[in-house]
Amino acid sequence: MKKISLFLFLFLLFFYTQGQKRSVDYKTSLTGFVASQNTLPFWAINNKHGLIPNGHGALLEVGLFSDFTNRHKIQFAYGVSAAGFLSRPDNHLILDQLYARARWRNLRLDLGMIHPEEEYRGISSTNGNFIRSGNARTFPGYNLNSEYMKIPCTQGILSIKFNWADYMMIDDRYVEDTRLHNKSAFLKIKPHQRWEIIVGLEHWAQWAGTSPDRGKQPSSFHDYLRIVCAKEGGIGASVSDSINALGNHLGREHLAINYLADNYTLSFYHDIPFEDGSGTDFRSFPDGTYCFYYGSKKKDRWITDIIYEFYYTKYQSGSRHDRPATPKEMEKQDPNSHFYGRKVLGGCDNYFNNGEYRSGWTLYERVIGSPFMTPGLSGNITRVINNRVIAHHVGMKGRAWQTTPYKLMLSYSRNYGTYGNTMKKNQLSGALEITLPFKNLPFAVETGIYGDLGDLFKDNFGFTIKLSRKGKLLK
């Protein structure tokens, strides 16, 4: 928290020195929510940046933002937002975003805590990213990233973008002060002005920190290089990290095909998750996300955006990681190897979980990636208790009668737990969010109706109402 406080002080100083030179926008809202159960329905709390507590009450949000300007070669932007949950004994304040950004040509440096950029108009169940959606809270760090840059001598057919980032996970977790490394590279192929093909790879790794049973984990610069290259651990690493890669590694392989018409966009994308080597060499097939999206450039129609997403994570490279080796297989093995007498199959990937970093791919008790991966308590540790899922998701957005914006989402999932703790539960969850056409009020009025029906969560019906206002604080 000391690091956060220092960054907040520096941000306020920056805001004071820059605020008189540029416009500053403000956003504020008050949301009340209630449900037939003590908890809220699935889509009432998920994909809300981890801000909505799972219970009745009200949420107050306040934010100040200043976007990039074109006055200088190096452009700056910054923002801060906070949320306070009311009406419960454990009322508390959440620092949601706190960031400063610098942009030069196609390069951008983000410092602090910031939401992922919205994709597919906010109707995707994962924000177009199986690994990092908009489901969990932000984490502090830096992110050096780029827009697509044309590769010389390719006549604009090939372009590339990348990112390199490091963060801290500052919530209460099994391994305290866990560090987080992230990098990605995407290649865009544009054989025609209306067609583009995107292929890419995104890598995340949890490392360092202090484990309650193994003590301080490797955290030197040499260990960081091992994390970057996904190499096995050195001095101080656990047996598992010495055999496999140091830390907890996961990511996605990405394919997208886009058709860019004059008045609409058609998209297909496929995310392949991986937890280890078996995922990167496609042994986990058919696991992944399969998505079709239509987006209209005319925003006054009944249906402007529609998406269908299919999720399959049931296989996970098979149910067994290894098996007893045959005599012929043992003849080719090293007797000193940890796996002597075993044949490694590479299965049981166990998405978003890890034996060393037992809190797994969660942050403040929310899954960082797809919300269909269900978190829960295992002992006193929050981890993913359901990651073998077959799910269908439909999202729709538009403007009814050209005056009333709405968003509709409907999801059906079949949930099988994990290979170590199986279940078989079906779940149907839906949401309808509407902005009411009250033009004479000093604030916007948004309502939401949410429902759950099935075996995974209790049958539940919820309602929210949100009063919001935005404008210019400084011009």
For the chain, give every domain's residue range: 2-474
**Cα-based distances in Å from 461 to 22, 85, 170, 429, 436:** 45, 21, 33, 10, 21
Token pair, residue 46, equals: 């998920």
Fold designation for 2-474: Porin (2.40.160)
Residue with tokens 């504020």: 28
| Pairwise CA distance, residues 165 & 145, whole Å | 8
CB of 365 within 8 A of CB of 375?
yes
| Pairwise CA distance, residues 356 & 350, whole Å | 13
CB of 273 within 8 A of CB of 288?
yes
| Residue-level pLDDT, tens digit, the chain, 475 residues | 555 555 555 555 555 555 556 789 999 999 999 999 999 999 999 999 999 988 889 999 999 999 988 778 899 999 999 999 886 666 788 999 999 999 999 999 999 999 999 999 999 999 999 999 999 999 999 999 999 999 999 999 999 999 999 999 999 999 999 999 999 999 999 999 999 999 999 999 999 999 998 899 999 999 999 999 988 655 554 545 444 678 999 999 999 999 999 999 999 999 999 986 655 667 778 999 999 999 999 988 999 999 999 999 999 987 666 656 667 766 666 777 666 666 565 667 899 999 899 999 999 999 999 999 999 988 889 999 999 999 999 999 999 998 999 999 999 999 999 998 999 999 999 999 999 998 889 999 999 999 999 999 999 999 999 999 999 887 7
| Pairwise CA distance, residues 369 & 45, whole Å | 14
CB of 444 within 8 A of CB of 467?
yes
